[in-house]
Amino acid sequence: MPIEPTEKIWMNGQMVPWADAQIHVLTHSLHYGTGIFEGIRAYETAEGPAVFRLTEHIERLHNSAKILMMDLPYSVDELVDATKQVVRESGLPSCYIRPIAYYGYGEMGLATSACQTDVAIACWPWGAYLGDDALTKGVKLKISSWQRHDHNIMPPASKTTGNYANSTLAKMEALRAGYDEAVMLNRAGLVAECSGENLFVSRGGKLITPPLSSGALEGITQNSVSVIARDLGLEVEIGDIARSDLYIADEMFVVGTAAEVSAVNSVDDRPLPCPGPATTAIAEVYAAAVRGKDDRYLSWCESVA
């Protein structure tokens, strides 16, 4: 999807014109995949734009840094404020936000001890990640031939840029085979997640989503959706899922900041009821929650005003 430029990008504490927000070709993280990032959305609410679960996203960025032993030069509070400033100054009612921290220009070689950490935060308008029909018609999934990297290869709990080469291999394979998204299995052969979303399966009246130990990212939307589902009276369990559980699911959906709640219409050409009743009910509450229209979840909406 082409990026729609906004006016300015926050770089190391300064608001820089969009076209000037550039880095050197010898930037360390470009060569070694050692950046860390977040994907966040701001939505239009009655109080103006509000960033959904901003503090949790920035806390996860700090955790990613901890795992990589990267010194982030800005505290959670400073990055929360900077993100709000970026959204406020963009003038956009809603947008996607991409904070990234990376080892900058100045050192080469795998050791990062002498590298400086640069931080940038950009935002731009971004529509439906898996297509406009993702909730009504659903998306076609394919089990990837690529395995999810695991805890002793590239820790999935860190949103490291290099991890996403694994996701890109899976995504491109799925797209070229005519599917919308890839399901990735871990080294034990169990379902972990999709290339850019967590997933939920409904079987026997219960929603099941794979644990962090499966190799999945500890998704913030996965958490929001679990809370919403329980508030709707649905049973939610974090547990192991085999690929055959997907084929015989009562319904299935995938979740992420970018993808929001997207229905699944088939897995490996086995059709699923779509959108199922739980998917529809959860998506409706999620859409209201992110826009500050459901009092139960107002604390998740962090106003930029």
Catalytic residues: 159
Of residues 64, 158, 160, 198, which one binds ligand PPE by CB under 6 A? Answer: 198
Q: Does residue 275 have a cis peptide bond before it, meaning omega lies within 30 degrees of 0?
A: yes
Max CA distance (Å), the chain: 56
DSSP string, 227-285: HHHHHTT-EEEE----HHHHHT-SEEEEEETTTEEEEEEEETTEE--SS-HHHHHHHHH
Residue 152 sits at φ, ψ, to 5 deg, of -105, 15
Contact in structure between 263 and 128 (CB atoms under 8 Å): no
Q: Which is nearer to ligand PPE, 256 or 275 (by Cβ)?
A: 256
Does residue 104 belong to the site contacting ligand PPE (CB under 6 A)? no
Question: Does the protein bind ligand PPE through residue 220 (CB under 6 A)?
Answer: yes
CA distances from 70 to 57, 116, 117, 128, 173 (A): 17, 9, 7, 32, 32
Residue 94's φ and ψ, nearest 5 degrees, are -150, 150
Q: How far is the CB of 193 from ligand PPE (least distance, A)?
A: 5
Q: Is the dihedral of CA 35, 68, 193, 205 positive or negative?
A: negative
- The residue number whose beta carbon is nearest to ligand PPE equals 39
Q: Are 255 and 222 in contact (CB under 8 A)?
A: yes
| Stretch binding ligand PPE (CB under 6 A), from 137-145, 213-221, 245-253, 266-274 | 213-221
- Cβ contact 170:146 at 8 Å: yes
d(CA 103, CA 109): 11
* Residue window 12-51: x/- pattern of binding to ligand PPE, with contact defined by CB under 6 A: ---------------------------x------------
Candidate residues 119, 134, 217, 290; the one interacting with ligand PPE per rule CB under 6 A: 217
CB-wise, 63 or 303, nearer to ligand PPE? 63
Residues 144, 161, 221, 262: which binds ligand PPE (CB under 6 A)?
A: 221
**Given the rule CB under 6 A, which of 76-84, 229-237, 255-263, 297-305 is the region that contacts ligand PPE?**
255-263
8 A C-beta contact, residue 2 and residue 119: no
Contact call for residue 144 and ligand PPE (CB under 6 A)? no
Contact pattern for ligand PPE over residues 160 through 189, marking x by CB under 6 A: -------x----------------------
260 binds ligand PPE (CB under 6 A): no
> Which residue from 210, 219, 276, 292 is in contact with ligand PPE, where contact means CB under 6 A?
219
Q: Tokens standing for 62?
A: 């700090």
Site membership for ligand PPE, residue 226 (CB under 6 A): no
Judged by beta carbon, residue 115 or residue 210, the one nearer ligand PPE is 210
* Interface with ligand PPE, residue 251, by CB under 6 A: no
202 Cα distance to chain centroid = 21
Near ligand PPE by CB under 6 A, which window of 65-73, 109-117, 130-138, 212-220? Answer: 212-220
List interacting residues with ligand PPE (CB under 6 A): 39, 167, 193, 196-198, 217, 219-222, 256-259
